[in-house]
Structure 1
């Protein structure tokens, strides 16, 4: 464990938005035991704690964070065969997520390939129940190891069934009482991907939905689709200076859903429907590249669901744009859009 600075340190260097003010202190922790020690030490000192992985899902206030920011770094992946069909991959929370996906694909293991190109650290994936292209972490998660800040103990092998995994959420989201230290996934050992369920991906691969393919082929196709939408990090591309999709797709009772011609919608359980947040934003009058204050922030030039930093902006600028979009959708359709990133020291 190392300290990155005992004086004020700017958090913008640690977020993909490149926004955010200073933390009182930044500590780098590698591996589960160091993370638990760093969080425990801050708790004992009565300091607030902010966990920072890849910073891809954080919107940090311009005023910063008056406490200790713990930067997560990984120390490895291990594999154990569970049966003839399944291998369990155990991954440190601080491991870069896309590196993990690439490593499992290189091992010929299927399951994670559709989650390629998502920035951030592995420990955040069960918290957010990360998902893309027809696959969610909940489809593969076996269990997690947690540091319980209330009892100051480590809980191992907490089953996925206890985490309340749902669309882009879990019991861990919004509750800082537990810190993910290690994550385990059940992966396919037969050299084939998860079933390709997302229509756009199936078309790209030239297969019918539910086909299983070479995981490496699926990964390359997903990366290509994400690059085309500005969703693979590139320091020279301002469309990737974002926190990914800023708003979640709203889930409503069918009776409450607005009737909008051409709006994408999916079944979401009995009597409920999930609406396309991007479709609502577009139908509320926003085009790709719509500029916020001073042009320092804007909607992505590739799709309207990402709010991007164009340089020289502030978190205040970003939130002003987010409020403009949220309020327009609420006024036009009576639907409340909710942010997907974690807001630190700020609100919409």
Structure 2
């Protein structure tokens, strides 16, 4: 049954543990409840999954927040259809345990399944677009449920046609997986070294999952309520994709990778070499870069969203001043901006 609450503090529902109250907070536990809640909502709507990719203003959100609490999945041969509100890492673990491969490099990523196509979530050489075949969504303009194929979603680096809009609400996501229990080809050099294999090789999916989780834990990228280095939104800035002319101005040792007709730079390298080391502190020490990873901006326990944004602006402006490269935030900024 749909639950409706008022003045719910959104800090209780985000991995940053930041954010003010919602005017109305609705919990939808079935797909039909989710569609009904969206239909009934007036004014602005914010869909909330695991809260891992959100920066919410201290003032909160003046519209309706709909908590997507649908769960579960259905396996059909090599394909699986999974509810939007299902915890992502529980789903990945379930697929590995069931003998399927393909998603293991995305282990340990916080949040819900429904958020992954919006952002085209990726890590360790794999992204959701590699395996997603379609989504079922509620089209608010048409007032109907429809299917969108992967080709229609306009996937690119950390984005899709769904990002930045609440016109289409993800209800279910369908993936095509490997039935042989082996991982996707290992493309990421750090992961290949960890596994002791050559890039391009495949390994048992369970082995790849454990290696990824170990690497993520070492970077504070697996949620742990006792560890403030994990009180974050994950990587705060995307890796910038620039023109060859910009690359020519970069130091020779700056990491670079081919990407979408341009060149991808490492945001973590840019941040560190612009003078912001791991653990760099923001206003009052209430926020800082993670002590384990320069891409994560963290709440040290008593922060405000204003504190976090002040540190983000300092880092963004410092990187631009040093390298002439503009960093773009990866999480969604709700009722606030850099």
TM-score strictly above 0.5: yes
Counterpart for residue 334 of structure 1: 324
2:289 pairs with one of 288, 299, 303: 299
Counterpart for residue 137 of structure 1: 128
2:92 counterpart of 1:101: yes
1:42-57 matches, within 5 Å, as 42=41, 46-57=42-53
Counterpart for residue 233 of structure 2: 243
Counterpart for residue 161 of structure 2: 171
CA-CA distance at 1:261 after TM superposition: 3.3
Tell me the alpha carbon deviations over residues 83-132 of structure 1, each in whole angstroms, 9 at most, x when there is no partner.
xxxx0010000000000100000110000000000000000000000000
CA distance in 1, matches of 2:69, 2:260: 38
CA distance in 2, matches of 1:263, 1:243: 25
Q: Is the 8 A contact 1:61 1:315 kept in 2?
A: yes
Tell me the alpha carbon deviations over residues 147-200 of structure 1, each in whole angstroms, 9 at most, x when there is no partner.
0111211103x1000000000000000111111000000000012111111111
2:3 counterpart of 1:3: yes
- Secondary structure at the aligned position of 2:113 is classed as coil
CA distance in 2, matches of 1:262, 1:21: 42
Q: Is the 8 A contact 1:193 1:213 kept in 2?
A: yes
1:1-348 matches, within 5 Å, as 1-5=1-5, 7-42=6-41, 46-81=42-77, 87-156=78-147, 158-257=148-247, 258-270=249-261, 272-348=262-338
Q: Is the 8 A contact 1:142 1:160 kept in 2?
A: yes
- Secondary structure at the aligned position of 1:37 is classed as helix
CA distance in 2, matches of 1:33, 1:275: 43
Q: Is the 8 A contact 1:31 1:94 kept in 2?
A: no
CA distance in 2, matches of 1:315, 1:64: 10
Q: Is the 8 A contact 1:92 1:122 kept in 2?
A: yes
Q: Is the 8 A contact 1:31 1:181 kept in 2?
A: no
Q: Is the 8 A contact 2:57 2:335 kept in 1?
A: yes
CA-CA distance at 1:32 after TM superposition: 2.1
CA-CA distance at 1:74 after TM superposition: 2.3
- Secondary structure at the aligned position of 1:183 is classed as strand
Matched pairs, number:
337
Range 214-223 or range 253-262, more displaced? 253-262
Q: Is the 8 A contact 1:140 1:187 kept in 2?
A: yes
CA distance in 2, matches of 1:75, 1:341: 23
- Secondary structure at the aligned position of 2:177 is classed as strand
CA-CA distance at 1:4 after TM superposition: 4.7
Q: Which runs of 5+ in 1 are unaligned?
A: 82-86
Q: Is the 8 A contact 2:2 2:33 kept in 1?
A: no
Q: Is the 8 A contact 2:221 2:234 kept in 1?
A: yes
- Secondary structure at the aligned position of 1:302 is classed as coil
Range 65-74 or range 15-24, more displaced? 65-74
CA distance in 1, matches of 2:94, 2:55: 29
CA distance in 1, matches of 2:26, 2:320: 41
The structure 1 segments of at least 4 consecutive aligned residues displaced by more than 3 Å after TM superposition are none
CA distance in 1, matches of 2:175, 2:207: 21
Q: Which runs of 5+ in 2 are unaligned?
A: none
**TM-score normalized with structure 1 length:** 0.95
- Secondary structure at the aligned position of 1:123 is classed as helix
| CA gap 1:117/1:315 in 2 versus in 1, 3 angstroms | same
